[in-house]
Structure 1
Amino acid sequence: MSNRDAVIVEAVRTPIGKRNGSLADVHPVDLSAVVLRELVRRTGIDPVSVDDVMWGCVTQLGDQSSNVGRFAVLAAGWPDSVPAVTINRACGSSQQAIESAAHAVLAGAYDIAVAGGVETMSRVPLGAARESGFPYGQTVFDRYGVDELNQGQGAEMIAAKWEMSRQMLDEYASRSHELTAAAADRGGFDDQIVPVDIGETALAIDEGLRRGTTPEKLAGLKPSFRPDGVVHAGNASQISDGAAAVMIMTSQKAAEVGLRPIVRLVAGSVVGDDPVLMLTGPIPATQKLLDRVGLSIDDIGAAEINEAFAPVPLAWQIELGADPGIVNPVGGAISVGHPLGASGAILTTRLINHMRDNAIRYGLQSMCEGGGTANATLYELVE
């Protein structure tokens, strides 16, 4: 067992649809089925050989209730014998799904696993759980001396702690759109995106991109969380719809079935951090991961740090001493959106394709997550 590894042989995603946009009428189960079917088409793997499907989804209510991963498998037309589980680690749900699937492969429990996730925020809005109950509980509020746990307020606190001006955040947000536009124009997303049929046409591009975004244009937007704040809709992630999936196996199994691995999952970490500040978890998660594998930030050629809010990747960049050029090199959630349960797998898909396109040995991704947790995952390009 000690010689086993875990490699990704294929990774695909839907285009990311904007809120109430082109994907709003697609049920999340059916959206998930799109990427599952595409994995089978591209790899030639008989789905009956998939040991498990691990599927991230955050708001598991309404259209996304009742183990959405299992019904995605059935909607994809896969055999009844293929199981699935739905995972919730807040925004890192599908990143956790990937790591959990890799753990099972490494342990020898699975030979072939599929991991990914979905979120259709147009149909199941952010905060829908609060309409039917009281998340978190009063004891948690009492422990931390607060009457709410709010990610937007956390973003404002991060901006203040690291002395980030609104201009700095708006420049970063504009950079996200600029980098996404450049990647789209050179075809950087073409191989990873699976078009989604929407009536008589299909959506094949990320819908949230706003070309020509500048700090000057963003300056007119009102702060979202504090009257004198620096965080607003233009330097925060967009509410979106989307799905993504990856196939994981050992490199030995890949050779047996005639597939060439893209990356090897080197290691992962998960941490808990301040639940009030909430969004700083990627910093200790990354440091824990780098310490575990004996690398430094200078060894990382590309890093996907989810752009939940502009202060998150900026604080990570400052604290880790990372070269700004490696951070979110093809843009991120500010420019294209953050379909919660799908975002971890979307980041993986973007990252490993960018690594392959640019011969980058090590790529790292990390997600801040509600409640103050964070995942970090390190990938190595398989040459």
Structure 2
Amino acid sequence: MREAVVVAAVRTPIGRRNGTLAGVHPVDLSALVLKELVRRTGIDPQDVDDVQWGCVTQMGDQSSNVARFAVLAAGWPASVPGVTVNRACGSSQQALDHAAHAVMSGQQELVVAGGVESMSRVPLGAARGTGLPYGPAARARYDGSDFNQGTGAEMIAERWRLSRQALDEYAAESHARTAAAADSGAFDEQIVPVVTPEGTLAADEGLRRGTTAEKLAALKPSFREDGVIHAGNASQISDGAAALLVTTVERARALGLTPLVRYHSGAVIGDDPVMVLTGPIPATAKVLRRAGLSIDDIGAFEVNEAFAPVPLAWLAETGADPKRLNPVGGAIAVGHPLGASGAVLMTRLIHHMKDQGIRYGLQTMCEGGGTANATVVELVR
């Protein structure tokens, strides 16, 4: 089987809800990173076999196959197709899986994977409308559960005995790590500035410098009156897009491009849909078995910070080195633009691996419905 490699990984800054990116249509935001891939690699867009694009709330401004219209908005030939993928929060990580699988199978040679979400323009939960999500049979199977992620986060905190103090300390550390990474220039190469009528956004907008556990202690719980989850130790609602270019080693050489990482292994798994967010734990075990690697072989982990209990429970179960977990911060500090987050995390991971000379990186995402993706990539030296 052929190897799939990533030769470019770019993202927009992550904009906070109703912030600088709120006025940018998600199709246009997607087009921006597509055009940046061309600018950085010099590829001819007409050679792209497909665009696999994550987007979760596919209604309103994000309806009508965002992927296809992003291709057209980018000025690419009308012959280039695009498909919009929805695996909840893992949508653009799944898009990367699809792209890698297509290349490895020999069916395609040059594929873009990525995603977008404009949560300012299409709010979280908007797709429910007056309908009945999940259906009566699934609800009945799980005693009428509403499969709520916030409630699931509370359940995880209770099961793993994670105190409010521990969660708030983790959240504060996310901001601190993000600030340190930003100040060091770690994000500069991966970010495409976005020019808007409100100004140019060139850095992640949600970062709150000086965040401490003591300050977060003043926030009220969001899901239970006596709960431990609140806005400060959960991911921020936000806007953003990211894209990766996937191809073969041979095609990269022919195009004069240097591979960044090799797609080593991928896995997807289902877990408890009521607790919702524990999937990264078995997904990590599954992808490591498939990769033939141990947890100690991995030099950096990106575990999406949907809520602080998610990475902390994952850490407790895997025994990973805490210093390798989300080394440049995460979604608590900068936001979680649903359909884009998988590609955003992978972009951050790839650039961190390249900057630090890390051989193996692992990314995993909890997803609505209790599923999770996990991906291992290997630095090409």
Q: 2:329 aligns with which of 316, 331, 343?
A: 331
Cα distance in 1, alignment partners of residues 13 and 62 from structure 2: 19
Report which stretch shifted further, 368-377 or 133-142.
Answer: 133-142
Q: 2:95 aligns with which of 83, 94, 97?
A: 97
Q: Which residue of 1 aligns with 2:161?
A: 163
2:317 paired residue number: 319
Partner of 1:134: 132
2:268 to 263, 270, 279: 270
Equivalent of 1:41 in 35, 39, 42: 39
Q: Aligned to 1:255, which of 229, 253, 256? A: 253
Structure 2 Cα separation of the partners of residues 146 and 333 of structure 1:
30
Match of 2:53 in 1: 55
Deviates most, 359-368 or 141-150:
141-150
**Amino acid corresponding to residue 379 of structure 1 in structure 2:** V
Cα distance between partner residues in 2 of 1:347 and 1:133 = 32
Equivalence for 1:370: 368
Q: Which of 107, 111, 116 pairs up with 1:113?
A: 111
C-alpha deviation, 1:293, in angstroms = 1.5
Is residue 186 of structure 1 aligned with residue 178 of structure 2?
Answer: no
State the alpha-carbon separation in 2 of the partners of residues 200 and 155 from structure 1. 35
Give the C-alpha shift of residue 292 in structure 1. 1.1
**Which residue does the alignment assign to 1:279?**
277
Which residue number corresponds to residue 206 of structure 2?
A: 208
- Counterparts of residues 213-232 of structure 1 (less than 5 Å): 213-232=211-230
Name the CA distance, whole Å, in 1 between partners of 2:129 and 2:79: 36
Equivalent-residue separation in structure 1 for 2:283 and 2:248 (angstroms)? 25
> In structure 2, what is the Cα distance between the partners aligned to 1:293 and 1:39?
29
Partner Cα distance (2:224, 2:350) in 1: 37
CA–CA distance in structure 2, aligned partners of residues 139 and 201 of structure 1: 49
Q: Distance in 2 between matches of 1:79 and 1:60?
A: 24
SS at match of 1:99: helix
Partners of 1:77 and 1:130 in 2: how far apart?
A: 33
Structure 1 residue 294: Cα displacement: 1.3
* TM-score after normalising by structure 2: 0.99
1:243 to 224, 241, 244: 241
Deviation, 1:200, is 6.5
Distance 1:109 1:148 in 2: 40
Q: For residues 135-154 of structure 1, what are the alpha-carbon distances to aligned partners after superposition, in whole Å with 9 as ceiling and x for unaligned? A: 10111110011341100000
Aligned residues: 381
CA contact (8 A) 1:129 1:135 kept: no
Q: Of 25, 28, 44, which residue of structure 2 is paired with 1:27?
A: 25
Measured against aligned partners, the alpha-carbon deviations of 1:46-96 in whole angstroms (never above 9, x if no partner) come to 000000000000000000000000000000000000000000000000000
Q: Any stretches of 5+ residues in structure 1 without a counterpart?
A: none
Residue 73 of structure 2 aligns with an amino acid whose one-letter code is: A
Output the aligned Cα RMSD.
0.6
Percent of aligned positions that are identical: 72
Return the offset for 1:199. 1.7
Structure 2 counterparts to residues 137-152 of structure 1, below 5 A: 137-152=135-150
The aligned amino acid for 1:118 is V
Deviations 1:152-172 (A, max 9, x none): 000000000000000000000
> Which residue number in structure 1 is paired with residue 63 of structure 2?
65
Query: How far does the alpha carbon of each residue in 1:237-292 deviate from its partner, in whole angstroms, 9 at most, with x for none?
Result: 00000000000001111011100000000010000000000100000000001111
Secondary structure of residue in 1 paired with 2:77? coil
Alignment correspondent of 2:293 = 295
Supply the distance in 2 between the matched residues of 1:130 and 1:332 (Cα, whole angstroms): 28
Deviation string 1:3-58 (CA, Å, 9 cap, x unpaired) is x1000000000000000000000000000000000000000000000000000000
Q: Give the whole-Å Cα distance in 1 for the aligned partners of 2:125 and 2:358.
A: 38
Does the 8 A contact of 1:90 with 1:369 survive in 2?
yes
**Cα deviations across residues 97-155 of structure 1 (Å, max 9, x unaligned)?**
00100000000011100010000000000000111421101111100113411000000
| Residues 70 and 132 (structure 1), Cα distance of their counterparts in 2 relative to 1, 3 Å cut | farther
CA–CA distance in structure 1, aligned partners of residues 154 and 242 of structure 2 = 30
1:311 & 1:32 partners in 2: Cα distance? 31
